[in-house]
Amino acid sequence: MLWQALVAARDLGRLHEIASILIRYGFGDMVRRMGMATALERAGQALHWKHADELARLEPPVRARRALEELGPTFVKLGQVLATRVDLFAPEWIAEFGKLQDSAPASPYAEILQQLTEELGAPPEEIFAAFDPEPLAAASIAQVHRARLEDGSEVVVKVRRPGIRPVIEADLRWLIRLAELAEAENPELRNFHPREVVSQFSLSLQRELDFASECRNSEGIANNFAGYTDQDDAPPASTGKAPPIIVIPRVYWQWTGERVCVQEFIDGIPGRNLAAVDQAGLDRKMLARRGGRAVLKMIVEDGFFHADPHPGNVFYLPGNRIAFIDFGMVGRLTEERRTQLVRLLLGLVRHEPARVADVMLDWTGSGAVDEAGLILEIQTFVDQYHGVPLKQLSLGTMLNELVAILRVHRITLPADLALLVKAFISLEGMGRELDPDFDMAGEAMPMLAKAVRSRYAPAALIKRGWRSATEMLGLLADLPHDLSRLLRAARRGQLDIHIDIKHLKHVGNQLDGAANRLVIGIVVAALIIGSSIVMTVSGGPTLLGLPIFGLLGFLGAATGGVWLLLSIWKSSKADRE
């Protein structure tokens, strides 16, 4: 039924296109194992199994990246999400996924004008003092136009491509089904947790389609940076208000919705143009420090961070200020997760393997893991950095190596932590591009120490204690009522006790199957004995000179015996898998 739904008329053409591209890039075996070829052949769609020799000679990560690019916007976005899963893929795969650029030819202005008019409430020429129909940039989901308000403020208008949602939803529809089939049928692919990855990707992409959600993220981070100052700042020479060090574009909510958003235009130097940074006389070292501290603040203090701080999402402004844009992908960390993160990073920087191992075991969840082997590898890993000066430590490299240990033990990070590790690695890489001597560990240490102190400060201890006491008092206050309901249910005979033991259902199914086979075996034996007796009795209808009832009995016994043998064989095969 899964593939019958998949090959419905609306998805059949797209499925054929996807299978053909995968075959051309040398992933024909995957097409076969996933059942895509069988489904298409049944639907009368022929596949060409020959692919170009030059594509076959490429390394697998390169072929995968090029296939994703050719498959279109949904798959480019998927590759960008896969680039955050450093716990699932080796560095060479992450590097290739990181090369995926979300760009596309711009849609003609006539095609987006109706959508702009619907969302803005009037044609853009009536809303803005000036509107440029030529886009500044175009991506697979949206394109951006520059405009000017009546008060002279420069803004950008981001508009979603018309008709893009049905295309993405169609791709997601079959991608989810394919992930379910891959996890059910292919043991090798289960290690990559395809359903979890696709679920994370689907949620991320649905949020990215809603521009209002992106703007809420932007405004939330802007509020966290309100009044933010850098520790290197000198006191202002004048009494006037100093410009903010970290700039987040202002959102104009009166013209912002699901399909269109209007934000402040950032007139700065793109993060990739380091030559322009030098020409403008900006201080690279200060920019690296300020960018690092800003992202560390988002992660450690706020628990709400830009999950993709690469140079394309950063602008450098006069006064060594930094602007962040594009908050479609953000990460959120609970207070407990932030505490674990602080313990982990302190353990790495201070060379405390026991602290690191404790956090990693907390992240393993309920899955089976070789704890002794994991702890030994973590201790060896941390010990190799013992005695290395703090300035020479690379947190990005250390996190990469630590995640490689997790991959060996087949431990998958939760989605929020995968985003976090990717953000750390991107941040340090960008800092090193600005300043080869950028000391990420040195920048992190004061903030980590501050986080530890604040957690154990008297006010914080009192707050946590009060919260726990309040919860306990609430529990005690409800206890008499809960006991009364429990006793009332017991008196009425309505008290049910449910015990859920892991694998108990599986054991029950095995017992049912064994009992069924035993019954069939007894029936087969009875048919053989009964038929043998009938064969010795003369009289009654015959076939080929033999009693017909005896022959029917042997036929039934043979059928039951074949069923019994097949059942035992299938059960043994399932146990081996």
- Check whether 382 has a pLDDT greater than 70: yes
Query: Of 494, 516, 543, which residue is a domain's last?
Result: 494
Rounded average pLDDT over 169-180: 79
Identify the active-site residue in 87, 171, 308, 326. 308
Instruction: Answer yes or no: is 66 within a domain.
Output: yes
Residues 96 and 153 in one domain: no
Is 132 in the active site?
no
String of b and e for 118-132 (b: at least 16 CB within 10 Å)?
ebbeeebeebbeebe
Distances, alpha carbon 391 to alpha carbons 17, 351, 359, 394, 440, in Å:
51, 14, 24, 8, 8
Rounded average pLDDT over 65-92: 80
Residues 407 and 522 in one domain: no
Q: Report CA dihedral (63, 64, 65, 66) to the nearest 10 degrees.
A: 50
- Do the beta carbons of residue 372 and residue 363 sit within 8 Å? no
Rounded average pLDDT over 103-119: 85
If pLDDT is split at 50, 70 and 90, which confidence band does 38 have? low
231 Cβ neighbours under 8 A, 6+ residues apart: 293
Distances, alpha carbon 377 to alpha carbons 91, 341, 360, 405, in Å:
19, 19, 12, 7
Instruction: Answer yes or no: is 270 within a domain.
Output: no
Residues 414 and 554 in one domain: no
Residues 82 and 19 in one domain: yes
Residues 88 and 212 in one domain: no
Cα torsion 216, 218, 223, 224: sign: positive
- Check whether 240 has a pLDDT greater than 60: no
Domain count, the chain: 5
Residues 355 and 468 in one domain: no
Please state the pTM of the whole predicted model: 0.70
Please identify which residue in the block is written with the tokens 């957690």.
Answer: 455
Q: What is the largest CA-CA distance in the chain?
A: 123
As a whole number, the mean pLDDT across the chain is 78
Locate all alpha helices (DSSP H) within 186-273, ordered by sequence: 187-190, 194-209, 211-224
Instruction: Answer yes or no: is 372 within a domain.
Output: yes
Residues 9 and 155 in one domain: no
Range in 40-54, 444-458, 544-558 the model is least confident about: 40-54
Rounded average pLDDT over 164-183: 79
- Of 167, 169, 164, 161, residue with least CA distance to 137: 161
Residues 287 and 393 in one domain: yes
* Residue 365 lies in domain: 275-456
Residues 66 and 129 in one domain: no
* In the chain, % of residues over pLDDT 90: 16
If pLDDT is split at 50, 70 and 90, which confidence band does 252 have? very high
Residues 312 and 412 in one domain: yes
- Check whether 197 has a pLDDT greater than 50: yes
φ/ψ of 324, rounded to 5, equals: -110, 140
Instruction: Answer yes or no: is 237 within a domain.
Output: no
Residues 248 and 113 in one domain: yes
Q: Which residue has the higher pLDDT, 342 or 174?
A: 342
* Distance from C-alpha of 575 to C-alpha of 234, rounded to nearest angstrom: 70
Instruction: Answer yes or no: is 387 within a domain.
Output: yes
Residues 218 and 297 in one domain: no
If pLDDT is split at 50, 70 and 90, which confidence band does 153 have? very high
Rounded average pLDDT over 19-35: 74
Instruction: Answer yes or no: is 499 within a domain.
Output: no
At residue 365, the pLDDT reads: 60
Distances, alpha carbon 255 to alpha carbons 10, 123, 152, 212, 259, in Å:
34, 12, 16, 10, 10
Instruction: Answer yes or no: is 23 within a domain.
Output: yes
At residue 218, the pLDDT reads: 93
Q: Which residue has the higher pLDDT, 160 or 363?
A: 160
CA atoms within 13 A on the CB side of 376: 6
Instruction: Answer yes or no: is 314 within a domain.
Output: yes
